[in-house]
């Protein structure tokens, strides 16, 4: 039974490990899904922020482009005549700080300062230019050191003439250069090789902390790029994981509980036994019993072996107690009887050759055993003698004496297996009126070594002889044990000294090797292989 308890413990541990694995997998999967989802969400939010910033700057610059043709018509006209018009344009556009007219490389009129006479190249080194230019520039005239965003449109007939518009960079910064922490630490605007970040001064290099990453998006309309400086979508997703831990733990516990309930039947030995029966994984074996006088085989005890494809070979002292504990022993016995009947031709076709089955006490209740024997055994009309062996480890309650009488009426012999090891041996003798007592192997092994058990063996033998009950000794392994038992009147022996358990299919060859395909005859009649009384 200790082996059975170890098997149960093994299954319980396996079940716990599976539930822990489910919980851990759920925890990791949930955190991984949340990490990937948060990372994707961060990526999406960065994309939205960059698109939004580019769109704002585009909206600022598009009206300037629309007014380009109208303003270029003013180039060359006297400043007194166009200054008011320039001021009205600045007021109308709102996003502009000033508009300046340039003629032949000289800035001669400004919406803010009026008449001017400044060489444009001395103020902005990149101008004049024969193509439109967007420039980041540091103001050295009105508010020194302030950044400016300049838009230059050249005149069609004179590359040195054109319109220079200064965008209100302070307004622009408040619209698109505000950071959105923790996702965005800072936003910068890049035009050519110059950068503007958070309305600071114009720089030739973009300052990026070593731990941050840059996400850039360029405008499709104008030559500028918006840069989002962020800790990184992966880093931000990792930072968010602790907040996802409670949800992940709840899901883990929930799925672990579901796994525990789901494996209640499948992760148990009862499921294994049922699966083994359904898949015919159990093999029916037998062990011969010999008469000590003429060494003839009087019959066999049917045994069961289980080579479990999932767990490997499982010994009977493990699965039999577990089958009894899970109320599957009757089901297992039906399997044994049906498999034995299916291979009945391996036994000698003689009424004195007996076939013994182990039957649990619970199988006697409500006549279930008799119904099963009628269905599986007697329906096949076997010639062999049937012996029902009842193990003493079961408690036999409220015996139906009518069932016992009916079993005897049908010619079935009753045997008490492992006699002497239980707590109710003598009460069984009264209740069952058995035909056979099988002396447990522990008493057989004690012969010549253990004075106490040897004495008990002698008492059992004397009891069986006094009650005229056939005695069978189990576990005979030495010649000394065999001689002692034979000397004391035990003439049916079973053990490794004569034969080890074997598959049913091997029995005919074993009988042939021992020159016994049929029972020996005496005076023309077959000799009884199990003594009669």
Instruction: Annotate 380-419 with DSSP letters as a single string.
Output: G---SEEEEEEETTS---S--HHHHHHHHHTT-EEEEEEE
CATH entry 3.90.1280.20 includes domain 288-301+340-504: no
pLDDT, greater one: 449 or 263? 449
Q: Within the chain, which residue ranges are assigned CATH 3.30.450.20?
A: 67-171
Arithmetic mean of pLDDT, 325-342: 90
Cβ–Cβ < 8 Å for 426, 437: no
DSSP class of 361: G
For residues 73 and 113, what is the distance between their CA atoms, to the nearest angstrom?
20
Q: What angle do CA 212, 215, 218 make, to 5 degrees?
A: 150
Q: Does residue 345 register a pLDDT over 70? A: yes
Q: Which of 293, 387, 287 is nearest to 337 (CA)?
A: 387
Q: Does residue 518 register a pLDDT over 50? A: no
Other CB atoms within a 10 A radius of the CB of residue 141 amount to 15
Q: Work out the pLDDT band at 198, boundaries 50, 70, 90.
A: low
Cβ–Cβ < 8 Å for 205, 190: no
For residues 311 and 307, what is the distance between their CA atoms, to the nearest angstrom?
8
Q: Within the chain, which residue ranges are assigned CATH 3.20.20.450?
A: 288-301+340-504
Give the distance from CA 90 to its chain's centroid: 69
- Do strands 521-522 and 502-503 pair parallel, antiparallel, or not at all (unpaired)? unpaired
Phi, psi of 257 (to 5 degrees): -65, -40
Residue 517 has a pLDDT of 45
Residue 313 has a pLDDT of 86
Determine the length of the chain: 533
Strand residue runs (E) in 395-483? 413-419, 436-439, 470-473
Q: Work out the pLDDT band at 172, boundaries 50, 70, 90.
A: low
Q: Which two tokens stand for residue 382?
A: 């076997």
Which of 9-13, 236-240, 448-452, 481-485 has maximum average pLDDT? 481-485
pLDDT digit string, tens, across residues 57-99: 898 889 999 989 999 999 999 999 999 999 999 988 878 889 9
Q: Does residue 532 register a pLDDT over 60? A: no
Residue 528 has a pLDDT of 47
Arithmetic mean of pLDDT, 410-425: 78
203 to 54, 142, 200: CA distances (angstroms): 20, 20, 9
pLDDT digit string, tens, across residues 245-261: 888 898 888 988 887 77
pLDDT, greater one: 392 or 35? 35
pLDDT digit string, tens, across residues 503-512: 999 999 999 9
Name the least confident of 127-136, 149-158, 165-174, 261-270: 261-270
Name the least confident of 37-46, 258-267, 380-389, 447-456: 258-267
Name the least confident of 17-26, 64-73, 367-376, 397-406: 397-406
- Across all residues in the chain, what is the average pLDDT? 84
CATH entry 3.40.50.720 includes domain 67-171: no
Tokens 């309930």 sit on residue: 261
For residues 269 and 332, what is the distance between their CA atoms, to the nearest angstrom?
13
pLDDT digit string, tens, across residues 1-58: 444 455 566 667 777 888 888 899 999 999 999 899 989 998 998 898 889 889 888 9
Tokens 């508009």 sit on residue: 99
Q: Work out the pLDDT band at 270, boundaries 50, 70, 90.
A: confident
pLDDT, greater one: 400 or 441? 441
Q: Which two tokens stand for residue 491?
A: 């003439």
Arithmetic mean of pLDDT, 306-320: 83
Residue 205 has a pLDDT of 84
- Which of helix, strand or coil describes residue 292? coil
Q: Does residue 392 register a pLDDT over 60? A: no
Which residues, at least 6 apart from 216, have a Cβ–Cβ distance to it below 8 Å?
A: 50, 190, 225, 226, 227, 228
pLDDT digit string, tens, across residues 97-148: 899 999 999 999 999 889 999 999 988 888 899 999 999 887 766 666 678 8
Residue 523 has a pLDDT of 40
Residue 363 has a pLDDT of 84
386 to 414, 416, 439, 530: CA distances (angstroms): 9, 14, 19, 11
Arithmetic mean of pLDDT, 461-475: 91
Q: Does residue 530 register a pLDDT over 60? A: no
Cβ–Cβ < 8 Å for 290, 493: yes
Q: Does residue 495 register a pLDDT over 60? A: yes
Burial label, 63 (beta-carbon count in 10 A; 0-12, 13-18, 19+):
middle
Other CB atoms within a 10 A radius of the CB of residue 450 amount to 14
Residue 509 has a pLDDT of 93
In DSSP terms, 194 is beta-bridged to 191
Q: Work out the pLDDT band at 413, boundaries 50, 70, 90.
A: very high
């Amino acid at each position: 039974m200790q082996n059975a308890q170890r098997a149960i413990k093994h299954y319980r541990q396996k079940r716990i490990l599976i539930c822990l694995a489910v919980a851990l997998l759920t925890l990791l999967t949930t955190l991984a899904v949340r990490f990937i989802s948060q990372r994707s969400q961060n990526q999406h939010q960065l994309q939205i922020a960059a698109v939004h910033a580019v769109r704002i700057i585009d909206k600022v610059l598009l009206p300037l482009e629309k007014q380009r043709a109208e303003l270029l018509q003013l180039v060359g006209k006297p400043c007194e005549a166009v200054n008011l018009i320039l001021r009205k344009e600045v007021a109308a556009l709102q996003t502009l700080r000033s508009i300046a007219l340039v003629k032949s490389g000289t800035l001669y009129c400004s919406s803010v300062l009026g008449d001017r006479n400044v060489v444009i190249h001395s103020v902005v080194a990149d101008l004049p230019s024969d193509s439109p230019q967007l420039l980041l520039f540091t103001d050295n005239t009105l508010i020194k050191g302030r950044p400016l965003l300049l838009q230059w449109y050249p005149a069609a007939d004179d590359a040195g003439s054109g319109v220079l518009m200064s965008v209100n960079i302070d307004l622009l910064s408040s619209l698109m250069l505000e950071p959105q922490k923790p996702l965005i630490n800072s936003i910068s605007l890049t035009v050519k090789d110059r950068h503007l970040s958070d309305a600071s001064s114009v720089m030739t290099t973009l300052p990026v902390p070593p731990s941050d990453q840059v996400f850039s998006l360029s405008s499709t309309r104008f030559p500028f790029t918006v840069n989002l400086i962020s800790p990184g979508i992966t880093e931000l997703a990792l930072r968010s994981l602790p907040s996802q831990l409670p949800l992940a733990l709840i899901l883990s516990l929930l799925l672990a509980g579901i796994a525990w309930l789901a494996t209640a039947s499948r992760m148990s030995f009862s499921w294994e036994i049922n699966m083994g029966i359904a898949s015919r994984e159990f093999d029916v074996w037998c062990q011969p019993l010999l008469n000590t006088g003429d060494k003839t085989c009087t019959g066999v005890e049917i045994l069961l072996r289980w080579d479990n494809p999932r767990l490997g070979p499982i010994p009977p002292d493990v699965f039999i107690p577990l089958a009894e504990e899970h109320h599957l022993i009757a089901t297992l016995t039906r399997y044994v009887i049906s498999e034995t009947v299916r291979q009945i031709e391996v036994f000698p076709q003689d009424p004195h050759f007996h076939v013994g089955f182990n039957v649990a006490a619970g199988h006697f209740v409500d006549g279930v055993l008799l119904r099963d024997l009628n269905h599986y055994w007697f329906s096949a009309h076997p010639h062999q003698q049937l012996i029902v062996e009842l193990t003493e480890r079961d408690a036999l309650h409220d015996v139906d004496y009518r069932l016992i009488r009916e079993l005897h009426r049908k010619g079935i012999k009753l045997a008490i297996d492992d006699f002497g090891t239980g707590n109710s041996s003598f009460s069984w003798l009264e209740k069952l009126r058995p035909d056979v007592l099988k002396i447990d192997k522990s008493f057989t092994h004690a012969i010549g070594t253990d004075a106490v058990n040897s004495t008990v063996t002698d008492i059992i033998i004397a009891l069986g002889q006094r009650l005229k009950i056939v005695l069978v000794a189990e576990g005979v392994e030495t010649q000394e044990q065999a001689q002692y038992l034979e000397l004391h009147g035990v003439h049916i022996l079973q053990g490794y000294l004569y034969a080890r358990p074997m598959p049913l299919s091997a029995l005919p060859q074993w009988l042939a090797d021992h020159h016994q395909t049929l029972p020996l005859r005496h005076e023309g009649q077959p000799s009884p292989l199990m003594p009669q009384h």
